[in-house]
Homo-oligomer: A and B are copies of this chain.
Amino acid sequence: MNTRKYEQRLRADTAAENRRRILQAAYDRLREAPSEPLSLDKVANKARVARSTIYVIFESRAGLFDAVFRDLLDRAGFDRIVTAVAHHDAGEHLRGSLRAGAHVYAAERGVVRAIYSMAALHADALADTVRHDEVGRAEGMRHLAQRLADQNLLRAGITVQEATDILYVISSFDTFDLLFTGRGLAADAVADRLIAMAERALVHQVGQPR
């Protein structure tokens, strides 16, 4: 039996719609109740789709949440925050991306927390994606640390390596959430704290010996 050419165009649209509806349903559910177990049955019902369809499209439960996470990264532009700010002054760049990051984290807090926790508990595709994303963030922080060094903004005795480590901590979701959820600060207040920490820990002050 020779398969003939077959390109579905109209069906591809509805297929893409289904995929999107499933992603949206899973995302909404994580948003509403980040600390409640989420079954694929619930996602399927919410998306008005058969549960088996989820498996056809996303392979597995982990594959679904992996896609949800990737989609979240795209929409929120986590990975673009650092480069997007793109201020010629590295100090402004630092402040701008910490503040922008804090607001993105605040908007997506529940979903990100749930996804990170799932990733920590399962060692699957989702865990790989989360780890990969963290590596990307580390590279971004290394770049920023290098820019700070190039512009002679680093405090005396701080290496780019050390600055990278510190920026990696301060720009993390966990650090944000310690202040946001743990200490009950508003997103802007968190940004203020983070910026203050970063500047005091890394940047030499006016009139301070270098």
CA distance A117 to B178 in the complex (A): 14
When distances are taken between beta carbons in the complex, the residues of chain B under 8 Å from A59 are none
- Indicate whether A105 reaches chain B with its CB closer than 8 angstroms: no
Name the residue of chain B whose CB is nearest to the CB of A161. B183
| Per-position binary interface string of chain A over residues 175-201, scored 1 when its CB falls under 8 Å from any chain B CB and 0 otherwise | 101110011010000000100110011
Other-chain residue from B134, B138, B193, B201 in contact with A196 (beta carbon distance below 8 A): B201
Could you tell me the dominant secondary structure of chain A's interface residues? helix
When the two chains form their complex, are residues B120 and A166 in contact, meaning their CB atoms are under 8 A apart?
A: no
When the two chains form their complex, are residues A122 and B35 in contact, meaning their CB atoms are under 8 A apart?
A: yes
When the two chains form their complex, are residues B120 and A162 in contact, meaning their CB atoms are under 8 A apart?
A: no
When distances are taken between beta carbons in the complex, the residues of chain B under 8 Å from A127 are 35
Q: Shortest Cβ distance from A183 into chain B, in angstroms? A: 5
Given contacts A178-B174, A178-B175, contact A36 B166 (CB under 8 A): no
When the two chains form their complex, are residues B138 and A183 in contact, meaning their CB atoms are under 8 A apart?
A: yes
- Indicate whether A121 reaches chain B with its CB closer than 8 angstroms: yes
- Indicate whether A19 reaches chain B with its CB closer than 8 angstroms: no
When distances are taken between beta carbons in the complex, the residues of chain B under 8 Å from A197 are 166, 169, 197, 201
Other-chain residue from B36, B168, B200 in contact with A183 (beta carbon distance below 8 A): B168
| Per-position binary interface string of chain A over residues 111-137, scored 1 when its CB falls under 8 Å from any chain B CB and 0 otherwise | 001101110111100010000001000
- Indicate whether A172 reaches chain B with its CB closer than 8 angstroms: yes
Other-chain residue from B121, B166, B169 in contact with A35 (beta carbon distance below 8 A): B121
CA distance A37 to B172 in the complex (A): 26
Other-chain residue from B114, B196, B201 in contact with A162 (beta carbon distance below 8 A): B196
3 tightest A-B CB contacts, nearest first: A174-B174, A117-B117, A35-B123
Having A36-B123, A116-B117, A174-B175, one finds 5 other A-B pairs with CB under 8 Å, namely A35-B122, A35-B123, A169-B178, A172-B174, A197-B201
